[in-house]
Structure 1
Amino acid sequence: MKNRLLAALPTEDLGLIAPHLTQHELEKGRHLCDPGDPVEAVYFPHDCVISLMTLMENGAAIESAPVGREGALGLMAAVAPRQSLVRAIVQAPGQASRISASALHDAWIRSPALRDLVDRHNEALFGHAIQSVACNALHGVEARFCRWLLSCRDRIDGDTINLTQEFLADMLGVQRTTVTAVAGSLQTKGLIRYRRGVVDILDRAGLEAITCECYAAVRRGYERLLPLPFG
C-alpha cells in the first residue's frame, strides 16, 4: 500500500476502514471538490497528486498545498462534517483509495491511532499552507517553480512530471509567458528538460540549490509529524 497514512495504521485499526475503501483511477485535471462543497468522501492518494487551490472572486487561483501519498484529501471530515475550503484538482494522475466521510468518522471514534494520525496530518498540511502564503509573497518565481517541481517529485514515482503551461501557471499564480521564461532558464542550466506538457527533472540537487528555504521547511514539517511521508 503506497499511501503512507494507511500503511502506518496498525493492522487492527486499518481493519476498521479497509472494508469501506474503494480504488479509483483519478485522471489529470479532474475536479474533486470546490469551496463550500460538503466533504462527503476522503481520498488517500497512492501515486497521484492533488492540488488544493485557493480561489478569488475574480476567478484567479493559486495552489495552497499539494496532497499525495503522504496524506489525504478531506481528512478533516473524519472528525465532524465539514465543507471544503478549497478547490481540489488532480495535478498528476494515478490511483487513490476512497472512503465515505461517515465511514471514516465511525472508525475515527473507535481508533486512537487513527485520531492521532488525523491530528498529525492536519497539522502538517496547515503548516504547508501557511508556509506557502509566505513563499508566494516573498520569493521569486524561479525559486517557487523549483519548489513546486521538488514537491511534486516527492509524491510520485519518477522524474517525469506531466503538466501544461496553463496548469503550472495556475499553480504558481503567474502568466504562462512567465512559466515559459523560467522553464527555459532552468533548461539552459541543465536542471530540467521541458517539452510540451512534460517536465523531466535532470538534476534534483541543482533544483534544491535554487529553490527557497520553504521547500526544506515544509518537508521537515511532514517528516516530523508523519511516518515516512516521502520514503
Structure 2
Amino acid sequence: MAKGKRSGAEGTGTPGRQRLGNQILNSLPAPAMEALSPAVEYADTRRGESLFEPGDEVTHACFPLGPTVIAFVLPMRDGRMVEAATIGREGAVGGVVSLGLKPAFARAAVRIAGPVARVPIARLEDAKRATPRVHDIFSRYADCLTAQVLQSVGCAALHPLEARCARWLLMTHDRLQEPVLPLTQESLAEMFGVARTYMTRIARLLEERGAISRRRGAMCIEARSVLEEISCECYGRVRRHFERVLPGLYPRAEP
C-alpha cells in the first residue's frame, strides 16, 4: 500500500471533505472531521492486496474512497476462501466496533483497487468519546455491516450462483457509480469459491439475457433492471436495512 499523509481533502481542510468519496467520513460532524483530519493518511491499494490478516492487530480503520472495494475473506485450510462481506464507499474496515487494538478475525482483501483513507483507531476512539454523534454513526454502521454478513450466510447457503453473482454485480455497480466494472471471471470464481469454468457459464447466461457484456478484464452493466430481476432478495434486504438505520449512507447507481 503506497501511503501519503496530508490533512483534509486535497489539502483543502474540512470544506473539501465532501470530495473524499466515503459516505461515513462525509456524514461526520464538521468539528469531528476537523479533529481527525491531521491524523488521516491517504494511500493507494492494489487489487488482491491484504490490508490485514486473521490474527493481526488492527491499528487503523480504512475507509474506501470512490471506486475502491474491500472484502472480508475467511481463508480455509485447504486454500479456498469464503467472502463474508463487501465494503465500498459506504463503509469502513478495521476498528469499527471494538475499542482499542484487537486481533482481526478475517482477511481484508482489496477486490477493486483504489484509494483509501486510514485513521488510527486511537484517534477514532477519541472522536467517538468526544462527540456522541460520531459514536452513533459508527454503531449504526456496525449494525448494518452485521446485517450484511448475516444475509451473506443465508445467500450462500440457499441461493443459486446466478442470483448471487447478479447481487454482487449490483452492489459493485452501486459503489463504482459507473457501468464498467473491473472484474474478471477468474476473480469472481475465486470470490464465490467455484471453478472458473462454472463462473464462465454463469457469465455467459447473464450476457445472453442482456444483463451484462464482457470485455477483457471487465464486465459491463448493460441492463441493470435485468440484473435486479435475476438477483435474489438479499440485495434489496440489505439496502432497505441500511436505509432504515443510516438513511442516505448506501450509494445507488443510476439505472
Q: State TM-score, norm by structure 2.
A: 0.87
Q: Is the 8 A contact 1:77 1:101 kept in 2?
A: no
Q: Does 1:15 align with 2:34?
A: yes
The one-letter code matched in structure 2 to 1:41 is H
The one-letter code matched in structure 2 to 1:69 is R
Q: Is the 8 A contact 1:45 1:71 kept in 2?
A: yes
Q: Does 1:24 align with 2:43?
A: yes
- How many angstroms does 1:198 deviate by? 0.6
Which residue in 2 is equivalent to 1:2? 21
Q: Distance in 1 between matches of 2:193 and 2:150?
A: 16
* SS across alignment from 2:176: coil
Q: Does 1:156 align with 2:176?
A: yes
**What does 1:108-187 correspond to in 2, within 5 Å?**
108-187=128-207
Q: Does 1:205 align with 2:222?
A: no
- How many angstroms does 1:77 deviate by? 5.8
The one-letter code matched in structure 2 to 1:164 is T
Which residue in 1 is equivalent to 2:210? 190
* SS across alignment from 1:104: helix
1:25–1:227 distance in 2 versus 1, CA, 3 Å: farther
Q: Distance in 1 between matches of 2:28 and 2:98?
A: 15
Q: Structure 1: which 5+ residue stretches go unaligned?
A: none
1:66–1:196 distance in 2 versus 1, CA, 3 Å: same
Deviates most, 134-143 or 59-68:
59-68
Q: Is the 8 A contact 1:51 1:90 kept in 2?
A: yes
Deviates most, 88-97 or 122-131:
88-97
Which residue in 2 is equivalent to 1:38? 57
Alignment RMSD: 1.4
Q: Distance in 2 between matches of 1:145 and 1:16?
A: 41
1:16–1:67 distance in 2 versus 1, CA, 3 Å: same
Number of residue equivalences: 231
Cα displacement string for residues 55-105 of structure 1 (whole angstroms, at most 9, x for unaligned residues): 222221121111111110113366332211111111111221111112212
Identity of aligned residues (%): 38
**Displaced runs of 4+ in structure 1, greater than 6 A?**
none
Q: State TM-score, norm by structure 1.
A: 0.95
Higher relative contact order (CA 8 A, sep 6+): 1
Q: Distance in 1 between matches of 2:21 and 2:41?
A: 15
Deviates most, 49-58 or 197-206:
49-58
Q: Is the 8 A contact 1:78 1:101 kept in 2?
A: no
Deviates most, 198-207 or 27-36:
27-36
Q: Is the 8 A contact 2:95 2:101 kept in 1?
A: no
Deviates most, 75-84 or 38-47:
75-84
The one-letter code matched in structure 2 to 1:33 is F
